[in-house]
A = this chain, B = another copy of it.
Amino acid sequence: MTKRVFFFGDGKAEGDAKRKDLLGGKGVGLVEMTSLGLPVPPGFTVSTEVCVEYMQKRAVPAEISKEIADALVKVEASVGAKLGDPANPLLVSVRSGARASMPGMMDTILNLGLNDETAAGLAKKTEDERFAYDAYRRFITMYSDVALGLEREPFDQALERVRVRVAGAKGVDAARCNAEELKKKVPDSEIPEGELKKLVVELKALVKQKSGKDFPTDAKAQLQGAIEAVFHSWNNHRAIVYRKMNDIPDSWGTACTVQAMVFGNLGDTSATGVAFTRNPSTGDKKLFGEWLPNAQGEDVVAGIRTPMHIDGAENDTLEKKMPAAYKTLTDICQKLEAHFRDMQDLEFTIQNGKLYMLQCRSGKRTGKAAIKIAVEQFGEKLISREEAVLRVDPQAIDQLLHPALDPKAPIKLLAKGLPASPGAASGHIVFSADEAERRAGQGKPVILVRVETSPEDIHGMKAARGIITARGGMTSHAAVVARGMGKACIAGCSAISVNYANETMTITVYDDAGRPTETVTKKKGDIVTIDGSTGSVFDDAVPTVPASPTPEFTELMTWADAARKMKVRANADTPLDARTARSFGAEGIGLCRTEHMFFEEDRIAAMREMILSDTVEAREKALAKLLPFQREDFIGIFREMRGLPVTIRLLDPPLHEFLPNDKKQIDALSVAMSVSVDKLHARIKELHEFNPMLGHRGCRLAVTYPEIYAMQTRAILEAAAFVSKEGIDVKPEIMIPLAITKEELDRMKDIVERIAADVSKEAKVAYSFGTMIELPRAAIKADELAKTAEFFSFGTNDLTQATLGLSRDDAGKFLPAYVDAGILPKDPFTSIDQPGVGALVRLAVEKGRAARPGIKLGVCGEHGGDPQSIDFFGRVGLDYVSCSPFRVPIARLAAAQVALRSSFE
């Protein structure tokens, strides 16, 4: 039988302070602080194992109650008071504390141990009747809510009625105040003891009325109920949601800490406060915190009284008002940082001039602060370089790379969508790409609003500051392209209904509870602000602050680059993308999509001519027109990427994507190409597909029309030859999409080699030939494909779609429900589905390496920029990940972390 109740107090603590899994974060903090000899009120922690057992059995086993009773005796001895002793009552707090921090998610009960007798005893002992009955009424309310499960509202109303009475006595017209105003006019401290005593009687009657039972007067029974309530709160709704959002397993359970109360509300020599050992927002190495004299902890966050700074220029700092306690606190901060080797988040209470520590934990911080703290702590020799690299959440550094909303600006939230591409932007809304381009050309900032975007909107997206789409998921066209451009984008914002004809959008605004409150219509030219990092659309212009990579960021990235094993490349389709990618540290292009190159106005015509041709000759003629464009594109990209590999994927999308689909455009095309509208319709109908995702695309196009890949290969190799002659080192990697058989690759290789032989008559160019692995069969037959392919690039977007049978264009309708319900732990298009899709990646890695040792393996799906996925890719041993340029730093850091973690394992 393992120990399950752990005492701490008087400078000694039971249990292994490393066992955060058993003691929870709060428990471990208290154990560590106690062992360090810091002033911590004594108490004990009931382990998470008991919570797990409680969840199964719906009761705390008797043998554990015995352990609890023993621990309580030690607390009583330490304090010199007894739980339930009217003469000298011990009061305790009962709090939850999980392995991972879940602030505010679970329930807490303070002042436990009060009943009519002990309340009287407390009043006598503290010589403060008001204090004692204030504590008592607080306790009844909290306990009734948390442990008895009674509705909180009537308890709060009873207090409000008291406040109204007191207000009347003060001459305040309570009828003209709302509850918040009333609280400010009649703060708790002004409610006289007589009223509090009456309130206690009323509250107890309320308990009897609502529950049919008397409020429990036995202090030990109170304790038992409170501990069970804490365990129970592990499964309350907001805790479940929080865990899901933060990837915390439901199975962990929470620990429960019972601790002797200390009081910050015993008069002007008492106080309470919270502090960070460094500034959690900027990372500055300076104590940062707030305090309130004569207050309990909850008052600091309640917002009725404005807390004061702990130090600084003001006159009401803790430093100036209580210098001794301040000195103790700063000493403690130093000790704790030295001990925990990380920035700490603290709670303290000063009771009659003596400072007590109630909590310490690693403090949450912004990305910017995380980097600064990690780099400076290395400088202070607190942590190693490797630890510094591991301290920063890769996702968090995204903030540094994009403009953000000014946190001080007032905002009105209109709608929430998916945070498809980070960054903040304000602008005039427009509903077409052309209009976006026109207005941007006039120097106006615009936000492009579309139901969804298609490749024909690219020029508008380029021109816009930000993009909103009403439909589409995290990997919709808009999302992918916007991330590639580093532009703010909100996708799938279903509260918005777009009317193209009127050039308006109508937004249903919801309150926090998800109820629609109003309908707002915005017309072309109106200004909105979007925050792509959170998916929020705000009314009007909200000031933004620009991206700000700090010197510490640059330093940390150098360390990360030294630590990582995987290379990081970028997905880039244009010379401009390529330059951006290089500036963010990309070590090559992992995916250059050639089809985006065909959508520009002067090219789409030739592309359409090719599609509408009936013979190989006619197609070759049309393709010949595209050749110089493609060659120019590649020349530009090769120049930018000098010395680095460039993986070029040959044409992938189905041909119908290049044809127009509305009547007006078809009519125009008919005139432009001298092809009858009927013929156009017939060809469009012929190319229509029920499931284009699973249709005639990728290398299947080149099986039917080999001349397309022939042209593209020629463009690549001629461009490479041209740039080589400039003395630039060129490393083209020709990549075949959607292959599922070796035979396909063999045919494609034949095309490529034929063209290469032809081009090499002019100038020899080295290139390599490889394939995407983006369908389950490709992964299963990777050993076969590796006989022909010199490299694999996992297209995990498509691989996810096929493996899960989930269209990313359609899944938006039900995938959120799947994630909410825990059927899938995460959106599999955001973070790779490791048990499913990951198993295929792993299989293909093994088979590919077995068939061709040294085969180059990378990933170029959206997952290449997701830290959790990068961790997986590092563990399966890929050679590189490729992601959108703006995520390259994130990927560099994530790749470093997986390398470091692996080296520790």
Contact = CB atoms under 8 A, between A and B. Distances in A.
A833 interface: yes
Interface of A is mostly: helix
Contact of A805 (B743, B802, B806, B823): B802
Interface string A820-856: 0111100000000101110110000000000000000
- One complex includes copies of this chain to the number of 2
A801 B696 contact: no
A28 interface: no
A738 B805 contact: yes
A743 B691 contact: no
A243 to B, nearest CB: 15
Contact of A809 (B690, B740, B814, B822): B690
Contacts of A744: 823
Given A691-B810, A809-B691, A836-B740, A803 B780 contact: yes
A828 to B, nearest CB: 9
20 contacts: A690-B693, A690-B809, A691-B691, A693-B805, A693-B807, A694-B694, A694-B810, A694-B811, A700-B818, A703-B817, A703-B818, A703-B821, A704-B814, A704-B817, A747-B823, A775-B804, A776-B840, A777-B837, A802-B803, A802-B805
A236 interface: no
A776 B803 contact: yes
A781 interface: yes
A798 interface: yes
A741 B824 contact: yes
A803 B781 contact: no
B810 A780 contact: no
Contact of A695 (B704, B798, B802, B810): B810
A696 B781 contact: no
A841 to B, nearest CB: 11
Contacts of A774: 805
Interface centre among A801, A806, A814 (most CB of B within 10 A): A806
B696 A693 contact: no
A149 interface: no
A250 to B, nearest CB: 12
Contacts of A824: 741, 743
A284 interface: no
Contacts of A696: 810, 813-814
Contacts of A840: 776, 780
B836 A777 contact: yes
A61 interface: no
A268 interface: no
Nearest to A775: B805
Contact of A690 (B741, B777, B810): B810
B690 A692 contact: yes
Given A798-B805, A804-B775, A836 B690 contact: no
A247 interface: no
A689 interface: yes
A563 to B, nearest CB: 32
A822 B743 contact: yes
